Amino acid sequence: MEGKRLTTIISILFISGFWLISCSQKQVVILDEGDLTAKAREIHDRVLTVDTHCDTPMVIVRGDWDIGERHEPGQRGSGKIDLPRMAEGGLDAEFFAVFVGQGERTPEGYAIAKERATRLLDAIHKMCKDYPHLVELALTPEDAYRLEREGKRAAFIGMENGYPIGKDISLIKKYYDRGIRYITLCHSSDNDICDSSTDRRNPEDNGLSDFGKQVVVECNRLGIMVDVSHVSDKSFFDVLKITKAPVIASHSSVRALCDHQRNLSDEMLEALASNGGVIQICFVSSFVKKAKPNPERDKALAELREKYGSLRETRDEAQREKIRQEYRAILEKYPTDMATIKDLIDHIDHVVKLIGVDHVGIGTDFDGGGGIEGCNNVSELPNITVELVRRGYSEEDIRKIWGGNIMRVLGKVIEIAGKTK
Ligand SMILES: [Zn+2]
């Protein structure tokens, strides 16, 4: 068909509310919004879908909440993930985080961290024991693909913050034996392994420590993925210098689109691609899009702090609840503009344009601060695929983004560990 006529027809179709989807074979298929959603759902259900980060184990250990039950989205205390909603949202595999916040770097501190990690690990194993018909522990890509065929959820485990290792390298093997398949080297503060991207008390960046180097070597030896989310820029490049296996950023976004230290710069993304690794785009709204300044909200929050002091330092539970209530009321009165699915997919587009489709995936951080407009709990994950299809991603690309890339990295990490044994 002649170019000009085609353009005219395309314009008319757009005006009539149709979408044009260009397939990998360069055919042009015309879908209306309903067809587009249906096509996306079919793809979503056919491919292995993996989310590499959620903090749901923190909700499980509370003890008053059951992951095997469906919780209505949006209700207070419903959480963002449970097993029934995972099935609804077509999520096949989740990396449940054993998250331990950074505390004192003392023997007492390490003991508390170890105990906390054990409690979270126990909770994840208990979930698999309580609901064997719904979910099973996964350790390898083969496990994930098998469970997908069986219609069960795959529960991987990642450790967020290497703090529970303390200074005892032998603990990494113990955590590996309990199913941990990635370790995020640090969290919001510097630790014995490396410097964090967000430690305000200690802004100088010393990168990876000598102990941290041993941790990376031990992860490579055992077949644990090294996770560079949360680490400082120098730590990131130090890790890449010594790792023998590809690394992951389990929940980080793109700094070029949202200037935040937690996000990866283009230089980092290029280095990640050379390493064969993958960035799993994070759903924390403030890492996806900078919120517009809101002086009225800032003023109200400052007044709240003035009135009660900081929540962190308040011990009295009744007082804490009062602060939380007032805090929520302020956020409701002056809502922040949340990032949208389109904003999030812009991050995927950026990575794909810069380093290719083999190095990007999904790391929601649900129950740890993740949630955007249109995808604010696990049952809404198919909306991500709808936007990918709308933007012309092929089924093969979507397969890579949703799980193929991260499973490739895990497979490679296991293969490299096998060679060093
Ligand atoms: Zn995190």
Residue 24 pLDDT: 44
Report CA(7)–ligand 1 centroid distance (Å): 46
Residue 54 CA, ligand 1 centroid: distance in Å: 9
The reported pLDDT for the residue numbered 22 is 43
Question: 368 alpha carbon to ligand 1 midpoint, in Å?
Answer: 7
- State in Å: Cα 14 to ligand 1 middle: 40
Q: Which residues of the chain have pLDDT under 50?
A: 1-27
Summarize pLDDT for 303-321 with one digit per residue, the tens: 998 988 877 677 777 888 8
Q: Residue 249 Cα, ligand 1 centroid: separation in angstroms?
A: 10
- Residue 334 CA to ligand 1 center (angstroms) comes to 25
Kindly give the distance from the C-alpha atom of residue 336 to the centroid of ligand 1, in angstroms, as a whole number: 21
Cα of 282 from ligand 1 centre, angstroms: 9
Global model pTM greater than 0.75: yes
Contact 47, 406 (CB under 8 A): no
Give pLDDT, residue 28.
Answer: 52
Distance 72 CA to ligand 1 centre (A): 25
Residue 400 · residue 357 · CB < 8 Å: yes
At residue 328's C-alpha, the angle toward residues 324 and 331, to 5°, is: 140
> Which pLDDT does position 356 carry in this prediction?
98
Ligand 1 mean position to 262 CA, how many Å? 9
356 CA → ligand 1 middle, Å = 25
Cα–ligand 1 centroid distance for 139 (angstroms): 21
